[in-house]
Structure formats: C-alpha cells, structure tokens
Amino acid sequence: MTHDHHHHDHDHPHGSDLTPVEARVRALESLLVEKGYVQPAALDALVEMYETKVGPHLGARVVARAWTDPAYRDRLLEDATPTIAELGIGGRGGEHMVVVENTPEVHNMVVCTLCSCYPWPVLGLPPVWYKAPAYRARAVIDPRGVLTDFGVGLPETTRITVWDSTAETRFMVLPMRPAGTEGFSEEALAALVTRDAMIGTGLPLSPGAEIQP
C-alpha cells in the first residue's frame, strides 16, 4: 500500500462533519449559553418533553372525556383552557385554547395562515404538512378538496368552517363520537381519536381499527 500524499499531517485523517446548518445552530447555542440567555440542561429538558411527553394522546384524553361527560363537554366548548387544565393538561402554546365541535351539520378544520400556530399542549408540535404553504393556502380556498386529499368524504349538506389559529388563540376540533362505541371506556375511546381528527383533516377511527401499540 502506497503512502497517500494527500494525507493530512494530523494523526486523525478522518475529521468529523457538521453541516452548515448544524454548525450555525451550534454557534447560536454556544453564544446564547455564554451570554447566559439559555442553559444546556433546560434545552435538553425541553426537547425531551416534546419528543416523549407532549402529543396528541393528551388531546385524545380531552376528547374522550367530552364524549363521556356532557357537563365536561359543555364547559370545554364554553371555556376550553381551564376545562382542559382540569385533566392536568396545559402550558405554553395553549394559553388561550378554543375547542370547536363537529356536528352532522358543521365540520371544523384548523389552519394557521400566518405560520404554524398550533395547540401544543393537546397536540404536541405540528406535522410537516400543517406548516406547508399548500395546506395554509388551500385550507381556506378549498377545504373540501383538502379533506378529499386526506381521504375524508363528508355529506354535501355538511358545512365546513375553517378556523385560523394565531399566537394568541389556538383551536382544537372536538370530533363526533363514532357509532358503535356505546359503553366504551374513556381509554378505549381515546384510542380512536387521531391527531388529524383534532385538526379537522381526519375523522376518529372506527371501533376495531385502533392503532395498536
């Protein structure tokens, strides 16, 4: 084997790689840590929280409770933030929540036309499509077409209402309880509630079609 003339004079020929964006993020983080604006442990805790703890399983609990407890449902539609907090759910990104209820007459759908405002405490962080220009624009112009793309066909008589979330007010949809779920426990009902059902781009699963863990 011949000596490689391009070999670096370091004793470690294979350096590591950071992409330009990774290096930029590290640059910002190291500067902010030095200046005392952020703490590495706090950043790690935030990431862990949104990767493992906060997500649509929390919104599903709210929906299941509303389906089984009419007084809870009434409070939820009247004043969502404290009613959601009754289940120990709340916090940043959900300071002012509004829940809108689907009925046979009205189907609700949520968008953020400005950017990607989303009810973090109940749904976690938004999916990629929610942040895309196509959804933001089309949800307003052609909501029925969007629903068709998501595989949701509604009766022609069902009106579609689109709600525009903002940093101040974030909407969540209370979907209709699926048929054939009489006597289901809250836990069994929650398993039918998908993220998209709470954005309004989907419907709850039918009994027997639960997502298996």
Partner 1 sequence: MSAPRPQGPFAAPWEAQVFAMVVSLQEAGLFTWGEWAEALGRTMRPDGAGEQAADYGRWLETLERLLAERGVADGASVEARTAAWLRAAHATPHGEPIVLGNDPELAKRG
Q: Which active-site residues does the annotation give?
A: 112, 115-117
Q: 34-37: long-range contacts (C-beta < 8 A, 24 or more apart)?
A: none
Which part of the chain contacts partner 1 (CB under 8 A), choosing from 65-73, 100-108, 113-121, 144-152? 113-121
**Is 128 a binder of partner 1 (CB under 8 A)?**
yes
Q: Which of 130, 98, 129 lies closest to 116, judged by CA? A: 130
Strands 106-111 vs 97-101: parallel, antiparallel or unpaired: unpaired
138-197 residues in contact with partner 1 (CB under 8 A) are 166-168, 187-188, 190-191, 193-195
CA distance 110 to 102: 12
**Is 209 a binder of partner 1 (CB under 8 A)?**
no
> Residue 53 has what DSSP assignment?
I
CB–CB of 72/66 below 8 Å?
A: yes
**Nearer to partner 1 (CB atom), residue 5 or residue 92:** 92
CB–CB of 193/58 below 8 Å?
A: no
**Nearer to partner 1 (CB atom), residue 155 or residue 180:** 180
> Using CB under 8 A as the criterion, which residues of the chain lie in contact with partner 1 when the complex forms?
10, 12, 14-18, 20-32, 35, 37-39, 42-44, 46-47, 50-52, 54-57, 60-61, 92-93, 112, 114-117, 124-125, 128, 131-133, 136-137, 166-168, 187-188, 190-191, 193-195, 210-213
